[in-house]
């Protein structure tokens, strides 16, 4: 257990350092390439709603993808830390006019408005952030467990939501030591590849 925890912490630190060291011009190009990778999927599946997130800590930028979704008339939702259910997420509508606020991690999220909440199981595609992944679809997050809990609930509800991880290519590692609560992903998209597990 201790060894697994140490390994996960070590991988998390190494990959976070790696992605934070990417230049802003590299990040801009990666964000454009991401849209090129995802556009065919969006054209084929025609999602009415997608959940995305605002990039932070060197994560692959989602700004171009959000703009693309708006252009396609696809509704965009962002995660908001649940105010009462510890460790869980809510998804709120996000438009260019949405009033934003900083959460406890300093990440911008829509200001809580009950009328803008949308149930996760009704979203067509949920794009999740991640710190590292391997070629089995194992996902290592930031350690808060927010997405693992959300995806576990989604699985219980038998939703037909596609869940897709987004990452830079450099975030792929040989093997992630997993824990019982980790929710593996069936798809991960990087600026150059679309992995299906």
Residue 157's pLDDT is what? 87
pTM confidence score: 0.95
Residue 78 β-bridge partners = 92
Query: Is the distance from CB of 99 to CB of 151 less than 8 angstroms?
Result: no
Is 179 annotated as belonging to a binding site? no
Is 146 annotated as belonging to a binding site? yes
Is 87 annotated as belonging to a binding site? no
Is 105 annotated as belonging to a binding site? no
Which range marks the domain in which residue 57 is found? 2-196
Per-residue pLDDT of the chain (197 residues; tens, 9 = 90+): 568 889 999 999 999 999 999 999 999 999 999 999 999 999 999 999 999 999 999 999 999 999 999 999 999 999 999 988 888 999 999 999 999 999 988 899 999 999 999 999 999 999 999 999 999 999 999 988 999 999 999 988 888 899 999 999 999 999 999 988 899 999 999 999 999 99
Is 142 annotated as belonging to a binding site? yes
Is 183 annotated as belonging to a binding site? no
Domain CATH code at residue 171: 3.40.50.10420
Query: Is the distance from CB of 172 to CB of 162 less than 8 angstroms?
Result: no
Is 100 annotated as belonging to a binding site? no
What is the number of helices (H) and of strands (E) in the chain? 4, 12
| Number of folded domains that form the chain | 1
Residue 1's pLDDT is what? 56
Is 143 annotated as belonging to a binding site? yes
Is 22 annotated as belonging to a binding site? no
């Amino acid at each position: 257990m201790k060894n697994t925890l140490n390994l996960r912490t070590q991988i998390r630190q190494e990959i976070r350092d790696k992605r934070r060291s990417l230049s802003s011009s590299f990040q801009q190009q990666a964000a454009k390439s991401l849209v090129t990778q995802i556009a065919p999927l969006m054209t084929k599946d025609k999602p009415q709603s997608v959940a995305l997130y605002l990039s932070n800590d060197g994560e692959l930028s989602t700004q171009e993808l959000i703009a693309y979704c708006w252009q396609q008339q696809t509704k965009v939702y962002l995660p908001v830390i649940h105010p009462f259910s510890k460790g869980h997420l809510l998804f709120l509508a996000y438009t260019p006019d949405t009033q934003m606020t900083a959460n406890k991690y300093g990440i911008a999220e829509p200001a809580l408005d009950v009328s803008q909440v949308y149930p996760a199981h009704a979203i067509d595609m949920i794009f999740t952030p991640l710190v590292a992944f391997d070629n089995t679809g194992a996902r290592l997050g930031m350690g808060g467990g927010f997405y693992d809990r959300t995806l576990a609930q989604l699985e219980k509800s038998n939703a037909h939501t596609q869940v897709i991880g987004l990452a830079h290519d450099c975030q792929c590692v040989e093997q992630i030591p997993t824990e019982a609560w980790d929710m593996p992903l069936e798809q991960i998209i990087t600026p150059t590849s679309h992995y299906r597990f």
